[in-house]
Amino acid sequence: MYFVAKELNGLPDGVYTMIRQIDSENLKNDIEDLMKLVTHSYLAKIIKTANKIDEGTKTLILAEELVD
pTM beyond cutoff 0.85: no
Residue pair 20/62 in contact (Cβ under 8 Å)? The answer is no
Which pLDDT band, with edges at 50, 70 and 90, does 41 fall under? very high
Residue pair 10/46 in contact (Cβ under 8 Å)? The answer is yes
pLDDT, tens only, 23-38: 999 999 999 999 998 9
pLDDT at 49 over 80: yes
Instruction: Count how many Cα atoms sit within 13 Å of the Cα of residue 22 in the half-sphere of its side chain.
Output: 14
